Amino acid sequence: MTPFLKTIAQHYYRNCENSLDHYCFVFPNKRAALFFKKHLTSVCTKPLFAPDTITINELFAKLSPLNQADTLGLIFSLYEHYQQLNQTSETFDEFYSWGETLLADFNDIDKYLVNAEQLFSNLYELKSIDNAFDYLSPKQIAAIKHFWRDFDPEKHSGNRKNFLQSWLSLAPLYRVFREDLIDKNRGYEGMIYRSVIEQIKDKQLPNLPYERYIFIGLNALNECEKTLLKHYKNLDIADFHWDFQSDFIKDPQNKAGFFIRENLKLFPQSPHLLFDCNQQPAFESISIPSNTGQTKIIEELLNEKHIHSEAQIENTAMILCDEQLMLPMLHALPDNIGAYNITMGYPLHSTSIYTLFSQLLNLQKNKRMADNKITFYHKNVISILRHSFVGKHFVEDSNKLVEQLTNNNLIYTDAETLSINPLFQLIFSDIKDSLQFPTYLKNIFAQCIQLYDNNDDDNKHAETSDDRLEKEFLYHLYITISRFDDLLQQYNITPGIDILVKLLRKHIDTISVPFSGEPLKGLQVMGILETRTLDFENLIFLSFNEGIFPKAVPGNSFIPHNLRYGFGLPTIEHQDAVFAYHFYRMVQRAKNVWMVYDASDSGMKHGEISRYFSQLKFIYNQPIAERSQHYKIELTSPKPIVIQKNDKIMEKLNQYLSDSDKQLSASALNDYVDCKLKFYFKKVEGIKENDELKEDIDSSTFGTIFHEVMENLYKPYENTTLTKEIIYKIRLNEREIDAQINTAFAKEHFKTDKTIELKGRHLIVARIIKKYAKQLLKIDMNNTPFIYRKGEQKINCQLELNNKQTVNFVGYIDRLDEVNGQTRIIDYKTGTDKKMTFSNLEELTTESKNRPSAVFQTFFYAWMLAETQGDKNLKPSVFYLRSLFKDFNPQIKHNKETVNNFGDYFDDFKELLKQLLNEIFDPNVAFTQTSVDDHCRYCDYKGICLK
């Protein structure tokens, strides 16, 4: 099958080889021109001077006296004229979005040679009709008022007048804007096109150094293009070659031929060439219930048709209907592909570097002043430190700062603390006004680019493709911000920082990063528009979904459909015809066509294949193989984890024996009973629980603060008999209670010895703690007198096992007091009230959902105290704070009897404890997962065991 461009190259080489350097070949895009030169080279048998090849846009640019203006600069200029004409207070941020739309409309008006005055006059009249209420009867107005009470035609007449004034100003805005640009020899694309046509009318079109113009593969011509082509046709210096050979395009019912039929009438094919066409490609549709999953099938498709050689790969094109698939597709390409060429851009806002840009914006937005220093919010700081770019180049510095912030629970951190290297010094600097913001961003991204440029030669050889992509994204972001900064200064616009951030985001959202490669080698990765005039034997369409190909949404415009249609401007039907032509032109010379689409349903997407599939199958009766590709994903239950105690594990366990300084606690034993595997992770392997910076007060920190407050309030009265009067005095001294709460907050939450003024949620938590403290003091008043012995009592103890080994223990008793000669062991609990009753001691160490773990912990403290001090006359009690205000009962019960003396249980509990420890240190008993799912709900290790 001879490609379209090769047929043209063969013709002109055979017939015009000696004069080709005087010809100008005009194409729809640069890619087509490049492939034409490739084909021309392949048919040449001797050296010759190459012809000039340009795009239709470049031809207009050569003929026009105007230079192409920057889009963002055009919008700034348009805003300037809009303000002058309307005397409005509308900000640039408010104008930006609709300014882009207005500029696009101006562009269409000029390209299609529309009389702007007439169009905008019609638009004003149409809006006047749409916004008038004169046609409503009193009954209709009353009905509308029933639903909208503020509806009043007379009341809103003033607003309507202002609204219509905006439409009335469009014609003068268009005129003044264009005049200003012409004075500066600048213009947008439509202006450049129209200026060429005006030169033709004035017979002042410059003569370019070409004897003949050959227009190749054009399709949807605007009025300016038609006029230029007619001009060259009338001079008899133009040839026209239209790519429309398949029956699909020739079908008068097919939109694909909508423009071609008119073009052939206006500009007949000359000279007449015979182009090859394959009417029977092998079509196949493939549904995959995943968007990125479509990319996984590429290797399989190439293998099915044995597409492996370099020549076969070069004759294969990957058509990305959705540009977002580009990066996933590149990662999915098989290794045997070798070279590949990307001819499309990738949106800058979809890159990881854009994420860093967004994080920098949020960092500055959420900063605050504290102690005359600028401080930065921890979430913004950590998100930057953990960004892939920062983490890759500054892994030690990033980890160091994250650990520092987490360990010290720094909600806000000053710049001095964070500025530990040159890049961090730039990132964590203070921006005092919006005009400094672009410079701030430029400095950061310049430094990031410098990190790559400073690599020595050896490192450059090791540079990965991801590194090269990242550097390219950095460069384009830097250039975009620099241009934005230049325009702000040029037009003397000073937006607020919030508005500037929005503008930057909006502008960058419109930027695509172009990719370049070896354009004539390897697999071609293309967007729809890049395929024009090109032919490939193998076509793989990805995202071949309705709504994506063709696109379902027309471009934004202020000109309604009926006016666009009446004035000959492009409409949604125009867009449909363009997409149809691209598709049917592509497949007309292909041998294999795969139409891969995402069959998943999510949100507004319904997983429907493109309409072109249905047209091929039902209208043109093309045989299409259909299949559904499913990736087998089974959520199988993870295998139970069983850790056998080998010599290394026993060696780690033995660290808790008497010849070591490591100790087991009551909470560690509770962990073992609830889940042996959790004990193994925590106490044997030493895997730390998630240590995160806590902005809010969790239950653990809440309890620690409360414990410390109560300990410090009672500390002056250690070994003192407390009476109702003494506790009443403590309770009445709210200033002291507040001071103790603030001190505990600073120590346990903010990790500092400085007193910090509590605000917001912290102040609310402080008041709750105060409420609990005063309630506990009230309860204690009703149980006086008693001797307060100590708060936060540390105890060390040992226990000998059956194998004569001795285990070390440590315990922290929240409070010890003495009532009627009996020592009371009190454990404060801030969590949900748990079972305080047990039927037998074995229940304390038997895994179950409602195991009385608090009883086990308090008994363990009682056993340790009795073991070390010899006094067994102890009363264990549990104070659940949530019960302080209702049904408070700290008593532990054995069946229905209150446990008044731990001495009655001492021997049996010690034996129970020994049995538990013998099991822990038994090399034949493995560490296994819990069978109680509730124990896994808040476990820090569930991500490891996957239970």
Rounded to an integer, what distance in angstroms lies between the CA atom of residue 226 and that of residue 184?
27
Torsion angles phi and psi, residue 590, rounded to 5:
-80, 155
- Give 32's contacts (C-beta < 8 A, 6+ positions apart): 5, 216, 217, 532, 533, 534
Looking at residue 840, its pLDDT comes to 94
Inter-CA distances, 258 with 261, 368, 520, 568, Å: 6, 61, 31, 14
Looking at residue 159, its pLDDT comes to 42
Q: Which DSSP symbol is given to 372? A: T
Q: Which residues pair with 287 in a beta bridge?
A: 597, 628
User: What confidence tier does 500 reach under pLDDT thresholds 50, 70, 90?
Assistant: confident
The pLDDT of residue 499 is above 60? yes
What is the largest distance, in Å, between two alpha-carbon atoms of the chain? 122
The pLDDT of residue 346 is above 80? no
The pLDDT of residue 199 is above 60? yes
Q: Are strands 186-187 and 212-216 parallel, antiparallel or unpaired?
A: unpaired
Looking at residue 519, its pLDDT comes to 66
Q: Which of 647-661, 745-759, 810-824 has the lowest mean pLDDT?
A: 745-759
SS3 746: helix
Mean pLDDT of 788-797: 92
Sequence-ordered alpha helix ranges (H) in 419-540: 422-427, 437-453, 457-461, 465-490, 497-509
Rounded to an integer, what distance in angstroms lies between the CA atom of residue 296 and that of residue 515?
22
Looking at residue 20, its pLDDT comes to 93
The pLDDT of residue 793 is above 60? yes
The pLDDT of residue 605 is above 90? no
Mean pLDDT of the chain: 88
Residue 227 burial (CB < 10 Å; 0-12/13-18/19+)? middle
Torsion angles phi and psi, residue 792, rounded to 5:
55, 60
Q: Are 294 and 540 in contact (CB under 8 A)?
A: no
C-alpha angle 26/28/32, rounded to 5°?
Answer: 85
Site of tokens 């259909």: 626
Q: In this structure, how many other beta carbons lie within 10 angstroms of the beta carbon of residue 806?
A: 12
The pLDDT of residue 675 is above 90? yes
Sequence-ordered alpha helix ranges (H) in 289-349: 298-304, 310-314, 326-332
CA dihedral 364, 369, 371, 374 (to 10 degrees): 20
To the nearest whole percent, how much of the chain has pLDDT over 70? 92
Rounded to an integer, what distance in angstroms lies between the CA atom of residue 40 and that of residue 533?
15
| Of 815 and 459, more confident | 815
Q: What is the pLDDT of residues 630-648, one digit of tens each?
A: 766 565 667 888 999 999 9
Q: Which DSSP symbol is given to 821? A: T
Mean pLDDT of 779-792: 94
The pLDDT of residue 782 is above 50? yes
SS3 414: strand
Which among 687, 689, 688, 680 has a CA at the least distance from the CA of 650? 680
Indicate left, alpha or beta for 251 from its phi (over 0: left) and psi (-120 to 50: alpha).
Answer: beta
Mean pLDDT of 819-831: 91
The pLDDT of residue 699 is above 60? yes
Which among 487, 573, 559, 574 has a CA at the least distance from the CA of 98? 559
Angle at which helices 437-453 and 352-365 cross, to 10°: 140
Q: What is the pLDDT of residues 83-119, one digit of tens each?
A: 888 887 777 777 887 888 899 999 999 999 999 999 9
SS3 563: helix
Q: Are 926 and 644 in contact (CB under 8 A)?
A: yes
Looking at residue 17, its pLDDT comes to 84
Rg (CA), the chain: 39
Mean pLDDT of 454-464: 56
User: What confidence tier does 761 reach under pLDDT thresholds 50, 70, 90?
Assistant: confident
The pLDDT of residue 822 is above 50? yes
Rounded to an integer, what distance in angstroms lies between the CA atom of residue 494 and that of residue 445?
23
Mean pLDDT of 443-449: 92
To the nearest whole percent, how much of the chain has pLDDT over 90? 58
Q: Are strands 238-241 and 212-216 parallel, antiparallel or unpaired?
A: parallel
The pLDDT of residue 135 is above 70? no
User: What confidence tier does 659 reach under pLDDT thresholds 50, 70, 90?
Assistant: confident
User: What confidence tier does 156 reach under pLDDT thresholds 50, 70, 90?
Assistant: very low
Q: What is the pLDDT of residues 725-742, one digit of tens each?
A: 999 999 999 999 999 999
Residue type, 322: D
Q: Are 232 and 108 in contact (CB under 8 A)?
A: no
3-state helix, strand, coil in the chain (%, to 5): 50, 15, 35
Mean pLDDT of 581-604: 91
Looking at residue 455, its pLDDT comes to 61
Q: In this structure, how many other beta carbons lie within 10 angstroms of the beta carbon of residue 894?
A: 15
- Give 633's contacts (C-beta < 8 A, 6+ positions apart): none
Looking at residue 459, its pLDDT comes to 54
Q: Are 941 and 825 in contact (CB under 8 A)?
A: no
Q: Which residues pair with 189 in a beta bridge?
A: none
Residue type, 857: Q
Which among 471, 417, 420 has a CA at the least distance from the CA of 448? 471
Looking at residue 634, its pLDDT comes to 60
Residue type, 569: L
Torsion sign (Cα): 513, 515, 516, 520: negative
Residue 646 burial (CB < 10 Å; 0-12/13-18/19+)? exposed
